[in-house]
Structure 1
Amino acid sequence: MKANSIIKQLLILLVLFSCKKELEYNSVLDASSKEVTTINLVAQDWPGTDPKPYDMPVLKGLDHLTFNDSSELSLKENDLVLGIEIEDESIAIPLTYLEGFEVANFKINEHSYLVTWCPLVGSSKLFKDQSETNNAGFDFGFALVNNNLLMVDRQTQTVWNQLSNKAIHGKRKGETLQLEPSIQTTWQFWKDKHPDTKVLINTDTTNAVFPSEVLKEPFYTKWQPSDGRYFDSGKHDINNLGLGIEIADASVYFPLNTLFKNQSPIEYTLANTTITIHFNTEGLTAWATNSKGELIPTTLAYNWAWKNFYPETTLFSSEKKHSHD
């Protein structure tokens, strides 16, 4: 009897999940102000599912981020931001404003950029738009690869994967997006480090890809327990977060819970390149600089997600020699 009861409960949960999935999927399509185009490829249509041939809806990415006075925004000390230094400007992009969009385009001094936020893998990344047509921009692909965000460039309809930085389908398949240096951290840490920082947000939150997620707090600041594998967005944990770096086809991953037991900074050699790893517990973050002290491109992401795309990565241990040639 007890076994039958458990089975019934599981069936009920499965039905509820399917209904929720259909409702959320339809709300996504209804939220698009224009006719939805699709691209046929092999991908996941929902987190945790198996990849399959799929007509992926392409929804408009966010455009026209604007600078705002931080004093007029409701930013909390531990709000996650993507901190960037470009065009001689220090800029913070609060991730709460990207929760319902995940893909946003903006322009600084005639140069076009793409900022992405994938809550499933805990990673925000900045890319330089290298389209032949300046400011062509990117849109949101309503599908996943290894539970990770897909973006579609408007110029060629090529599909790009966020964590690998690579084109996985379309005219530019196999090419790599130009990843720009950034620091994913808390608002308080970035503001203390850059007191003159500007804040770049989308003031218009209409037509979001995920309307129910608009202005939600990025979840990994909640310190909820997890076993390190993808399950759902409420089960992730800072203890599964780390810094991934790729140089010349070699990669290394620095778990934050390992870094936080050491003294910052740490020197490390990857692909015959000496880099310095910096980390900060209060800022829930880590970043890397080169021999000139310049910020280099890195990725903050969950351990399982990084390993999915970089299976041969070296896992940093403070007990090992700090090099990998």
Structure 2
Amino acid sequence: MSLEPRTPSRRQFLKGAVVLGGVGTLAVAGGVALWQSTGTSDSAPGASLAPGDPPSLDALAEAVTSGGPGKDGIPPIDRPQFVAAGRVDFLNDDEPVFGLTYRGEIRAYPQLVLVWHEIVNDTVGGQQIAVTYCPLTGTVIGFTGIPDGPALTFGTTGDLVNSNLLMYDRQTDSQWPQLLGVAIRGPHKGQRLASVPLVWTSWKAWRTTHPDTLVLSTETGSLRRYGSDPYGSYPRRSGYYVEGGPFFPVLATDDRFGAKDIVIGIRAGDATVAVHRELVRREKSVPVTVGGTRLTAEWDEALETARVTGADNTADGAVDVLDAMWFAWYAFHPDTEVLR
């Protein structure tokens, strides 16, 4: 299928901006900023790749494009507030949440909140963690900073690479594509962030499995329409999340899967594997070898999601694992091995 970016059929409000897709011009009407489409392209500007070549950091930097809102125009949550599961009255059973178990603490970050903020700068078990979500690529990742480095907090640049959130750290202003977790600009260029996996599941499944969970509150200090989604609906599988290709340019495309099909992306060093989520759901257990590391992708019936474990039945700390839309994983990793 074609992965050509498409212009949305409706306006999408993010921080008062109406994102109509593609690179456009900023206009103001009645006090509301309007991001007006001027057309899109299926290849990113400033770089060309040979088939199967992973993009260099410089190629990614050249391919940065504006997403519409300016720096921190999509405001991160810096003082997150949490409520007990029994006090949550703003989530339906089928609402997606991103679950975290870390250093003895259990938390859920609702998609309906993060879709408006994309980054939560949190502290869990005494550790600084940035919980990040890019709705354009369907990727949610926790970052604890550079191994053995200083603590970092993050904001949104307003720009994108391969249609993916481009973050910046507030300490050095280095820029980091969220899916890649490697700085492409700034003092930290070339350094990789340590990651913490989050579980993409439903509110009902998470609270049933973890009844003592804390939940990120909608009391964020920002005026947002929590409960509405500018991109469509995950529970009802509609809008951008299932239709067409990416809105914004990407460096490489591949049609082995649908653009918005979900793959389990697994990364160990420079080696990567993409496992189609439906393969794991169907087979229940899929052996995977990544960079010489033997792992297993297993279907978790209780949480209705795929999990990746090592030989000791725990997630391998040297391996990054995340759900991603196929087009986005491939754009960053065109040399990926594929299991389907």
TM-score range, shorter chain: 0.7 to 0.9
AA matched with 2:235:
T
8 Å Cα contact 2:309-2:315 kept in structure 1: yes
Residue of structure 1 in register with 2:331 after alignment: 308
Q: Say if 2:85 and 2:207, in contact at 8 Å, map to a contact too.
A: no
Over the aligned positions, Cα root-mean-square deviation in angstroms equals 3.5
State the distance in 2 between where 1:119 and 1:253 align.
Answer: 19
Q: 1:216 and 1:227 mapped to 2: Cα distance?
A: 18
Query: Residues 103 and 114 of structure 1 are in contact (CA less than 8 Å); yes or no, is this contact kept in structure 2?
Result: yes
Q: 1:269 aligns with which of 289, 304, 307?
A: 289
Cα deviation digits, residues 238-288 of structure 1 (max 9, x gap): 9711211001211111112332322x1222222221112122578552121
Q: Secondary structure, in 3 states, of the residue corresponding to 1:286?
A: strand
What does residue range 62-77 of structure 1 map to in structure 2 within 5 Å?
62-73=77-88, 74-77=90-93
- Residue 177 (str. 1) matches residue 188 (str. 2): no
Could you tell me how far apart the structure 2 residues matched to 1:117 and 1:105 are?
12
Q: Does residue 1:144 correspond to 2:165, yes or no?
A: no
Give the distance between the partners of 2:277 and 2:121, measured in 1 at CA. 29
Distance between the aligned counterparts of 1:65 and 1:43, measured in 2? Answer: 29
Tell me if structure 1 keeps the 8 A contact 2:260–2:327.
Answer: no
Aligned to 1:288: 308
Cα shift at 1:154 = 0.6
5+ residue gaps, structure 2:
1-6, 11-18, 35-60, 249-257
Contact 1:159–1:170 (CA under 8 A) maintained in structure 2: yes
CA distance in 2, matches of 1:116, 1:288: 20
- What letter is aligned with 1:288? V
**Aligned-pair identity (%):** 25
> Normalization by structure 2: what TM-score?
0.71
Classify 1:23/1:145 alpha carbon distance in 2 versus 1 (closer, same or farther; 3 Å): farther
- Tell me the matched-pair count: 278
Amino acid in structure 2 at the alignment position of 1:153: D
State the alpha-carbon separation in 1 of the partners of residues 322 and 176 from structure 2: 16
Match of 1:229 in 2: 245
Distance 1:23 1:284 in 2: 44
- 1:252: which partner in 2? 273
User: 2:260, 2:326 within 8 Å by CA — same for their partners in 1?
Assistant: no
For residue 3 of structure 2, what is the aligned residue in structure 1? none
Residue aligned with 2:282, SS: coil
Q: Which has the higher helix share?
A: 1
Contact 1:220 1:238 in 2 (8 A): no
Q: Secondary structure at the match of 1:165?
A: coil
Name the CA shift for 1:290/1:313 in 2 (closer, same or farther; >3 Å): same
Q: Aligned letter for 1:302? A: M
* SS of residue in 2 equivalent to 1:203: coil
Letter in 1 for 2:228: K
Q: 2:233 aligns with which of 219, 222, 229?
A: 219
Please say which structure displays the higher CA radius of gyration: 1
Consecutive unaligned residues of structure 1, counting only runs of 5 or more, are 1-9, 30-39, 48-54, 318-325
Contact 1:65 1:202 in 2 (8 A): no
Give the alignment of 1:70-109 within 5 angstroms.
70-73=85-88, 74-109=90-125
